Structure 1
């Protein structure tokens, strides 16, 4: 299984970077995987040699999205992500932002979706201070877990 602890992921990144590999990191809840996630992760993978996904823990998702979320557990979400061709590793983190996990991993490139602005991300300072680069990728319009949940709810009514 390619689900790593923070410590394992940190050691792995050090080894990979010593071998001149570009490590790409992104993060999110990834509660219900959809085509927007797939396209985004494929594009993220193209930015470097190894893609590591930070997966918000169940408690973190509840704080960010509300008491009815997540729909899928953190272990299920991490395992599903690791099953995608683009994803090399996943690491679950408990904080609400990826600042601490990025500080521990020090990826070469941190990517986020087009619904974010580099200057508004709390992690940009940490990434750049450690010699990394932040890239904003294209957003897949209308594709979001919130939209999927809304559609399910509407169909029940």
Structure 2
């Protein structure tokens, strides 16, 4: 569990770095969407190497038999990458990531509460709600600064 938390913490650290780097690339080449394509292409190569290295390549043959709506994950990933690359230079990396984080917390709370997409049910309570509202209040304070 501690290892998993560490991996996710590292992934969280990587998100604003990804936003800053890709925003910089988009600015330098004058095309944020093209920078998103470059990032997704590099990500695809890394993912293919990881699938091959872990012996999971055969599992790719099973994808065509899965419900199409599960592929929405790829659409959402592209939306995130393209939107953060386009918005971050104007809005600020910190502001953009804070909004993303707030959206993640709200969506995660709803997914957990209702057990959507096969998630383990974790009911909404006042403490969780207070945390989300505190983050929303923080966003307002950051925007006014």
Q: Is TM (by shorter chain) over 0.5?
A: no
Q: TM-score, normalised by structure 2?
A: 0.24
Q: TM-score, normalised by structure 1?
A: 0.22
Tell me which protein shows more strand as a share of its residues: 1
